[in-house]
Amino acid sequence: MRTVAAAARTVRFAITGSGSVGVSRTVRWPIASAAGVGGTVVYTVAAVSGPDPAYLGVGPFVRATVDYLTLGAATVSWELSPRFFAPGPYVFQLQSSPTDVSIADDWVDVGAPTTSGTSLTDSRPDREHGKARLTGYRVLLTDGVGVRHVSPPVNTLGDLDWRDWRIGREVIRKERLRHRWQTSPAGFLYKRRRAGPACTRCFDAATAAATDSKCPVCLGTGRVGGYYAPLPCYADVSQEETDEHRSPQGAGMTMPAIVRGRFIGWPTPAALDVWVNASADLRYVIGGAGDGAGVKVEAQIRGVPLVFTVGLRRLPPEDVAYTLPAPGGS
């Protein structure tokens, strides 16, 4: 037998844990390819240092769902991946946020953690803030060696069974391909803060609103920080429409520029969020202008929204939204 070449290939091994049932999983290890006289190929696994490569990059959660009652409790259930092999015991903690953004900085623990079961309940009476249902949930898993894993955030706009969930995922996948390769400019979405500490500079307790649209503390939102960190977000933007006219309120001649934007359903676009065209640094606010420039569900499955079309109003250069830092510090 002679060595022909060294290579790295994806090989499927049967691995048996100590005292457990044998499992099969795909790993990528350095291997040496050797050929015998008869042409039989033999693979010899080389030594690998560090953690088990099959364990790296495998998330614990297949999916999470919410069974939501407006005047009752919200029950969050989850399903663990059969390809997740982190050591136990596992500790599960339910978390919630006023938004369904994974990188939000205001996720808080809800209730006590559990080491068994596949669901946790949120029975707080003040879960929602306003008419728009934007609350998000996620599950924090801590494994036996202290590594923390979080599930993708889920909203409370409806639940799908396994079949419909897979169909919805395929719709979103194709919508993302359409955005990326055919129609849409790259951009960023700044989700507006709708809950949290009130602005220490301009918040009016009597009206529960900000009194300075250019406040450096809340950026005119009434909440400290103003917006969450930006999320990469494509939008299929229509041709711009403008209509110059005289305002009866004494503002003189105005020429609002309104376009329509098509977004996927995560993160959920909401009125007064800000979307940025990354290449042109044009900044738009979602909705709030009347004339049908609101948020419309374009595609859904069993009542669960998948694709939105929203009205976008282009903001003037002096608007406070232009002080929001773009990703990368620019």
**DSSP per-residue letters across 260-305:** EEEEESSSPP-TT-EEEETTTTEEEEES-SSTT-SEEEEEEETTEE
Number of H-type helices and E-type strands within the chain = 1, 24
Question: For 11-20, what is the mean pLDDT?
Answer: 39
**Tokens for 53?**
């490569």
**pLDDT tens, residue by residue, 117-167:** 889 999 886 766 666 777 889 999 999 999 999 998 888 888 788 898 889
Percent of the chain scoring above 90 in pLDDT: 23
Q: Domain-by-domain residue ranges, the chain? A: 2-45, 61-155, 163-192+227-323
Say which range, 3-7, 133-137, 161-165, 234-238, has the weakest mean pLDDT.
3-7
DSSP-derived 3-state class of residue 208: coil
* CATH pick for 61-155 out of 3.40.228.10, 3.30.1490.190, 2.60.40.10, 3.40.50.300: 2.60.40.10
Paired with 93 in beta bridges are: 140
* HSE value, Cβ hemisphere, 13 Å, CA-based, for 70: 8
Tokens 């305002």 map to which residue? 247
Per-residue pLDDT at 34: 39
Q: How confident is the model at residue 268 (pLDDT cuts 50, 70, 90)?
A: confident
pTM of the model: 0.69
Tokens 């976008």 map to which residue? 312
Tokens 């500079």 map to which residue? 201
Question: For 84-99, what is the mean pLDDT?
Answer: 90
Q: Please tell me which residue, 49 or 294, carries the higher pLDDT value.
A: 294
Q: How confident is the model at residue 113 (pLDDT cuts 50, 70, 90)?
A: very high
**pLDDT tens, residue by residue, 287-321:** 855 555 688 888 888 888 889 888 888 888 899 99
* HSE value, Cβ hemisphere, 13 Å, CA-based, for 87: 7
